[in-house]
Amino acid sequence: MFKISHRGNVSGITEMENHPDYIDTAIGLGYDVEIDVWDVFNAFALGHDVPQYEIDLDFLLSRKNSLWCHAKNLGALYKMLDCKIHCFWQQNDDYAITSKGYIFTHSSIAEKTDRSILVSLDGTLDVFGASGVCSDFVENY
């Protein structure tokens, strides 16, 4: 089962979400990490509502086996697909298909399949039977 830290969070939400060092800490603890990726003037940046932390392509490529990249704009989606970086596009959709064929669910959906990544922001959702879970409290799993 994939255990995916939501924006680097492991045991609750902090102001460090999407910060490159915070992401590396979660990876160092053995988790995959879902991050929010923007294309800004032909560069990459991380941040949920707005681009906050500029990164380069090497940041994504060198961690690509641990990242689930949520494209926040179309440019980011195109570039990550071209670079074979695991990514997906989701706004208010119930489901999003990742570039590796997983079904990333919205946090309001609890349907499980063997390809589902359930989003359990509070860390209490039963995820038995799913491929993975993405949570701000991923340590609970």
Query: What pLDDT sits at residue 1?
Result: 95
pLDDT digit string, tens, across residues 27-38:
999 999 999 999
- Assign 105 to helix, strand or coil: strand
CA distances from 24 to 9, 20, 29, 45 (A): 11, 6, 9, 15
What sign for the dihedral angle of Cα 27, 3, 116, 16?
A: negative
- Tell me how far apart the alpha carbons of residues 127 and 28 are, in angstroms, rounded to a whole number: 23
pLDDT digit string, tens, across residues 100-131:
999 999 888 888 899 999 999 899 989 999 99
pLDDT digit string, tens, across residues 50-90:
999 999 999 999 999 999 999 999 999 999 999 999 999 99
pTM of the model: 0.95
Are residues 91 and 110 in contact, defined by beta-carbon separation less than 8 angstroms? no
Question: What are 116's two structure tokens?
Answer: 């589902």
Q: Domain-by-domain residue ranges, the chain?
A: 2-140
